[in-house]
Structure 1
Amino acid sequence: MSYEDLDVWKRSARLSVTLYQETKELRDFGFRDQLTRSGLSVPSNIAEGYERDSDKEIARFLTIAKGSAGEMRTQILIGIEAGYLDKATAKRWAEEAKQLGKMLAALIQRHKRKSG
């Protein structure tokens, strides 16, 4: 199976694209850069893990991706409070980031069992 076949990769890549598109006019470059970087990190680390040779390595990179999903969710929630992001839209993004974290947790456990 390729990482491109994984729903979690597809959904995280789609969310990353959305973050780039929807925040391109945001004037706070530091915030925008941090948010888009954390969003990009999720599918990128999934891909890197699946290009490795072992379940242990896959689990390690999925764990990094899960951390990035949490970072992204936090930044989205802060963006709402700071008035940078549309509340309704950003709440959907935050929920998607939360779901991605859950999906990644399940994949991590699967690969840890296989490597153990």
Structure 2
Amino acid sequence: MAERFEDLRAWKTARTLTNRVYALTKTKDFENDWALKDQIRRAAISVMSNISEGFESRTRPRFVDLLGRAKASAGEVRSQLFIAYDQGYPNEEEFSETSDLADKVSRQLYHLIRHLENHDGSEQVRELPAEYVSQ
């Protein structure tokens, strides 16, 4: 059972994604593109923040809503990565690794949302089984 948002696998993945985005945007070329750098960082931060805010709300409908927002922000990160890649900021490996993290957290959020929506209504939030990570 998840007792803190830090226990959620999706939040841990979102944290890794945010750190990866920050590292990627510190490169010389990317750093000079202020608008894109700021936007992709904000989107990555939003993934982490919405997961934690939803969990701390302690209400299932609010949690599900904020998880949906986190998922949308993960999609935003992926889209912005394509913009950055098209501009030649990250190399192919950096792009793939970061995009894969954004996709992973999106899938984790999808399964967590599904679990919460189909759960028996208990007020406790439980971490999902292993398939939640791999799908």
Coarse TM-score class (shorter-chain normalised):
over 0.9
Partner of 1:6: 8
Note the 1:29-48 alignment, pairs <5 A: 29-48=34-53
Q: Is the 8 A contact 2:25 2:37 kept in 1?
A: yes
Q: Is the 8 A contact 1:77 1:91 kept in 2?
A: no
Q: Is the 8 A contact 1:79 1:85 kept in 2?
A: yes
Residue 56 of structure 2 is aligned to residue 54 of structure 1: no
> May I ask how many residue pairs the two structures share in their alignment?
115
Counting aligned pairs with the same residue, the percent is 32
Alpha-carbon shift at residue 62 of structure 1 (Å): 0.2
Alpha-carbon shift at residue 58 of structure 1 (Å): 0.6
AA aligned to 2:114 is Q
TM-score when normalising by structure 2: 0.80
TM-score when normalising by structure 1: 0.92
Partner of 1:78: 83
SS for the counterpart of 1:51 is helix
Choose which of 70, 73, 79 in structure 2 pairs with 1:68. 73
The structure number with the bigger radius of gyration is: 2
**2: CA distance between counterparts of 1:98 and 1:21?**
18
**2: CA distance between counterparts of 1:53 and 1:99?**
24
**1: CA distance between counterparts of 2:33 and 2:92?**
17
AA aligned to 2:81 is I
Unpaired runs of at least 5, structure 1:
none
Note the 1:96-111 alignment, pairs <5 A: 96-111=101-116
